[in-house]
């Protein structure tokens, strides 16, 4: 007898529909699995047999062949266990064939028949949204985020068999709606003492979506400032929230109780992270990297000078395109979303002092340290700020600065203005939109021309200066008319040269 069961698997951060075909017939007893299963998927034959026999169902002494269609891509993980088990039970005449019409199944089987959650429930359900999905009980909210059909939660194979054979009703789920996601306590910007320029840069980065680099001595407050950026950002829009939820689900990251990621994620990988950990990929299963997990939010690279140069350069494609392609060959390449806001923090040299008089590093050591940050990579930061240690008076006077809540209100107004005007944030304005929405006064144009003629700005830097100046104008409430030279000058000052002897100079 042949049974056909609907399910899905994941490749990268996307789901792919899979049809599980089970044939039971005469021949040498055995269990064969076809359709490019990986090792963990191939082990399903032992998990399925143990789970079925644990439910008191006899395993037939026949030849069983399971095909995972289509065969063009590799099936990974244990998420097909339940579908394979249901297919076997239909082929064994335990479950009526018409009982599984319109159903799809996802989940891992324990040897005792328990059904466990697997990474990627949301992307799996997303490729068959109209089906009636049967998923582990603790994954119901995650599945309901993308599924438009009925979602059934089951925690044991025997319960599933009883429901499909009409021997018992489907388990009742908690009728209460998922709780609203409680926002994690934000780090308040009011805790930052002094640092007026760095605080302004943080506000600019939040308002315009600009990439930001802090350069300064240890203890100057670079990490403290960077961790306060997510509190300035608004909730994710519906599309970005769904994309971010799909990525986090595929990576197995814990989602909020409602199943939908609403707040911008904040990812801070360690400086020992490899290229694969940052960008994503893998030998068989392509997993989302940190840049995809930061989609819609913030990627914070602390101690950026300690990262591998090739790992940092691997971020350049994602910075420009908002996605990353992983895979070994063209036919096997997978696109994953990676539109994030990059915040970096680095010391100016190995000893951290930076200033020529205070620094204990020689010229060669400083040059080699900063050479880890390539010019093309640094050029992609709209804002590069030299952060100095706060003054003693600022640290000890006890006065708190402006709160995150009040700054976030200005940020929200500026972002709304930019989206209403051009349909996107200022950091995403292309050449045509810059010409249309960020014209310059004659004095501002002369100032930028002089910087270009001196060779202190690249073509990319020129456009990034204009984008930052546009955000400065928006925060000042000057949404109409050309951008003045004082905003261009401020944007230039906030683009510090990164070099062994030029920390603090404008570029």
> What's 47's DSSP letter?
H
pLDDT at 200 over 60: yes
65 contacts 22 by C-beta, under 8 angstroms:
yes
The CA-based dihedral angle spanning residues 392, 394, 400, 404, taken in that order and rounded to the nearest 10 degrees: -110
Alpha carbons 353 and 215: distance in angstroms, whole number: 11
Residue 348 clears pLDDT 60, i.e. is over it: yes
pLDDT in tens, 87-107: 999 999 999 999 999 999 999
Band of residue 502 on the pLDDT scale cut at 50, 70, 90: very low
**218-259 pLDDT per residue, tens:** 888 899 999 999 999 999 999 999 999 999 999 988 888 888
DSSP per position, 470-496:
HHHHHHTT--SSPBPHHHHHHHHHTBB
Look up the CATH number of domain 2-164. 3.30.230.10
Contact 225, 195 (CB under 8 A): yes
Q: What is the pLDDT of residue 355?
A: 58
Phi, psi of 309 (to 5 degrees): -55, -40
**Residue 507: pLDDT band with limits 50, 70, 90:** very low
pLDDT per residue over 287-342, tens digit each? 899 999 999 999 999 988 888 888 888 888 889 889 888 866 555 678 889 999 99
- Contact between 208 and 424 (Cβ < 8 Å): no
The per-residue pLDDT for 504 is 39
**CA dist 482 → 209, 278, 473 (Å):** 21, 40, 9
Residue showing tokens 């799996």: 124
Give the whole-angstrom CA distance, residue 130 versus residue 478.
Answer: 48
pTM of the prediction? 0.87
SS3 114: strand
Phi, psi of 467, rounded to the nearest 5 degrees: -65, -45
Per-residue DSSP letters for 227-256?
TTSGGGSPPPPHHHHHHHHHHHHHHTPPPP
Determine the Cα–Cα distance for residues 97 and 81; give it in Å rounded to an integer. 18
Distance from C-alpha of 363 to C-alpha of 478, rounded to nearest angstrom: 45
Radius of gyration of the chain (CA): 28
Q: Which of these, 84, 86, 91, lies nearest to 62 by C-alpha position?
A: 91
| Cβ(145)–Cβ(248) below 8 Å | no
Structure tokens at 317: 């494609």
Token pair of 102 as six digits: 């319109």
- What gap in Å lies between CA 192 and CA 214, rounded to an integer? 15
pLDDT per residue as tens digits for the range 404-463: 999 999 999 999 999 999 999 999 999 899 989 999 999 999 999 998 888 888 888 899
Kindly tell me if the per-residue pLDDT of 262 is higher than 60: yes
Question: Is the pLDDT confidence value at 206 over 90?
Answer: yes
Domain extents for the chain? 2-164
Q: Helix, strand, or coil here: 127?
A: helix
């Amino acid at each position: 007898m042949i049974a056909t069961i609907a399910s899905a698997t994941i490749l990268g951060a996307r789901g792919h529909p899979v049809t599980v075909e089970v044939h039971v017939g005469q021949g040498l007893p055995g269990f064969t699995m076809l359709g490019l299963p990986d090792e963990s998927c191939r082990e399903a034959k032992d998990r399925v047999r143990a789970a079925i026999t644990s439910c008191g169902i006899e395993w037939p002494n026949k030849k069983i062949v399971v095909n995972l269609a289509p065969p063009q891509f590799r099936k990974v993980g244990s998420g097909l266990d339940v579908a394979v088990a249901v297919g076997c039970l239909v082929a064994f005449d335990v479950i009526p064939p018409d009982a599984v019409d319109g159903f799809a199944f996802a989940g891992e089987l324990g040897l005792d028949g328990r059904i466990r959650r697997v990474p990627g429930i949301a992307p799996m359900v997303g490729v068959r949204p109209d089906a009636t999905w049967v998923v582990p009980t603790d994954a119901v909210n995650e599945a309901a985020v993308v599924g438009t059909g009925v979602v059934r939660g089951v925690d044991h194979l025997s319960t599933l068999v009883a429901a499909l054979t009409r021997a018992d009703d489907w388990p009742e789920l908690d009728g209460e709606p998922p709780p609203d996601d409680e926002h994690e306590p934000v780090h308040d910007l009011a805790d930052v003492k002094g640092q007026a320029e760095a605080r302004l840069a943080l506000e600019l980065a939040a308002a315009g979506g600009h990439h930001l680099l802090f350069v300064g001595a240890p203890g100057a407050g670079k990490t403290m400032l960077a961790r306060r950026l997510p509190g300035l950002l608004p909730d994710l829009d519906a599309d970005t929230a769904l994309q971010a939820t799909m990525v986090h689900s595929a990576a197995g990251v814990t989602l909020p109780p409602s199943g939908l990621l609403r707040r911008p994620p904040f990812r801070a990988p360690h400086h020992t992270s490899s290229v694969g950990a940052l960008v994503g990929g893998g030998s068989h299963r392509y997993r989302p990297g940190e840049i995809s997990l930061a989609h819609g939010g913030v990627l914070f690279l602390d101690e950026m000078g300690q990262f591998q140069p090739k790992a940092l350069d691997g971020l350049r494609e994602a910075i420009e395109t908002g996605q990353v392609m992983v895979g070994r060959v063209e036919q096997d390449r997978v696109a994953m979303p990676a539109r994030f806001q990059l915040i970096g923090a680095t010391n100016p040299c190995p000893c951290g002092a930076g200033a020529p008089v205070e620094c204990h590093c020689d010229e060669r050591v400083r040059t080699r340290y900063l050479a880890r940050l390539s010019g093309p990579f640094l050029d992609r930061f709209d804002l590069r700020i030299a952060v100095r240690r706060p003054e003693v008076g600022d640290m000890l006077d006890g006065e708190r600065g402006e709160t995150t809540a009040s700054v976030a209100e200005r940020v929200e107004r500026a972002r709304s203005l930019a989206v209403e005007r051009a349909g996107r944030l200022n950091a995403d304005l292309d050449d045509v939109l810059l010409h249309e929405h960020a014209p310059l006064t004659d004095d501002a144009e002369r100032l930028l021309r002089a910087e270009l003629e001196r060779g202190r700005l690249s073509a990319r830097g020129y456009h990034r200066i204009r984008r930052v100046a546009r955000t400065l104008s928006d925060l000042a409430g000057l949404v109409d008319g050309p951008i003045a030279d004082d905003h261009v000058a401020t944007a230039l000052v906030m683009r510090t040269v990164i070099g062994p002897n030029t920390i603090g100079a404008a570029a």
